[in-house]
């Protein structure tokens, strides 16, 4: 080793011998090392999972389940619809029915509301039921009397809008149910219903082929539509060379 003649202190390199890592540390030590690595990366340290609260679903049995299992069981039973509104205990050896109020704390609000709605419907299985046709309402209603007469114009108890209970559509003012049923799917708007009402009042006829309205001001019953189809203005049948016995003749 050469002597130091510069007068400056020379730093002597130090070698620190570290112990090699144990490839199979104790489980507790291993979790501690993992926590230290997470902290070094700025992440949250490892913590053992919290135990979820157990929920009793029915008063007739002592079985308790976690919220996720209980909620998934009720949701699956409501979606399959095979057992009606009664949901049994998830334990295969138990036939007790679950109580919605006891399960409420473990259920999402939409699942709880669907379950209650099904229970209400099950109370009126033998009654004549109808639903409000407006998508933002869908209120269920039951006929007040036991008569066989078909109810047509009705008022929803929820949204207070008029609808036809026979056709299950918003009320078709000025158009009978028979006329409404003869209309196509694309002909049932409010403007179309006004046209049907005007056609009935003006005694217009509809071409059997193209469904275009025709108004006869004068002449015979032989009508040639703009589509080329020939029909009788009185009975609506296809025009024949010999056309007698028509009620409109």
Q: What is the mean pLDDT of residues 58-78?
A: 85
Residue 240 has pLDDT above 60, yes or no: yes
Q: Where in the chain is the domain with CATH 3.30.40.10?
A: 55-125
Question: What pLDDT is stored for residue 63 in this prediction?
Answer: 85
Q: What is the mean pLDDT of residues 142-152?
A: 63
pTM for the whole structure: 0.40
Give CA torsion, residues 161, 165, 169, 175, to 10 deg: -100
Question: What pLDDT is stored for residue 233 in this prediction?
Answer: 84
Q: What is the mean pLDDT of residues 168-176?
A: 84
3 state SS for 82-151 = CCCCCCECCCCCCCCECCHHHHHHHCCHHHHHHHHHHHHHHCCCCCCEEECCCCCCCCEEECCCCCCCCC
Q: What is the mean pLDDT of residues 90-102?
A: 85
Q: What is the CATH number of domain 55-125?
A: 3.30.40.10
Percentage of residues of the chain with pLDDT beyond 90: 2
pLDDT in tens, 115-135: 888 887 777 766 677 888 888
Q: What is the mean pLDDT of residues 164-174?
A: 86
Residue 165 has pLDDT above 80, yes or no: yes
- 3-state helix, strand, coil split of the chain in percent (to 5) is 30, 15, 60
Q: What is the mean pLDDT of residues 72-92?
A: 80
Q: Is residue 111 within 8 Å of residue 74, measured between CB atoms?
A: yes
């Amino acid at each position: 080793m050469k002597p130091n003649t510069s007068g400056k202190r020379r730093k002597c390199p130090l070698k620190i011998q570290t112990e090699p890592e144990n490839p199979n540390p104790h489980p507790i030590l291993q979790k501690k090392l993992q926590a230290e690595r997470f902290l070094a990366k700025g992440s949250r340290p490892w913590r053992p999972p919290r135990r979820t609260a157990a929920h009793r679903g029915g008063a007739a049995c002592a079985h308790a389940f976690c919220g996720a299992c209980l909620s998934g069981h009720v949701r699956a039973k409501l979606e399959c619809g095979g057992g009606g509104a009664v949901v049994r205990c998830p334990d295969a050896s138990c036939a007790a029915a679950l109580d919605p109020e006891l399960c409420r704390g473990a259920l999402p609000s939409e699942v709880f509301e669907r379950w209650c709605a099904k229970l209400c419907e099950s109370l009126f299985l033998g009654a004549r039921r109808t639903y409000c046709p407006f998508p933002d309402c869908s209120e269920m209603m039951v006929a007040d009397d036991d008569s066989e007469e078909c109810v047509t114009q009705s008022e929803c108890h929820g949204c207070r809008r008029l609808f036809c209970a026979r056709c299950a559509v918003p009320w078709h003012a000025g158009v009978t149910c028979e006329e409404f049923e003869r209309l196509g799917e694309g002909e049932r708007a409010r403007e179309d219903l006004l046209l049907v009402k005007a056609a009935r009042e003006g005694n217009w006829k509809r071409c059997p082929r193209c469904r275009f309205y025709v108004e006869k001001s004068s002449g015979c019953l032989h009508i040639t539509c703009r589509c080329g189809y020939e029909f009788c203005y009185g009975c609506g049948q296809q025009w024949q060379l010999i056309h007698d016995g028509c009620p409109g003749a």
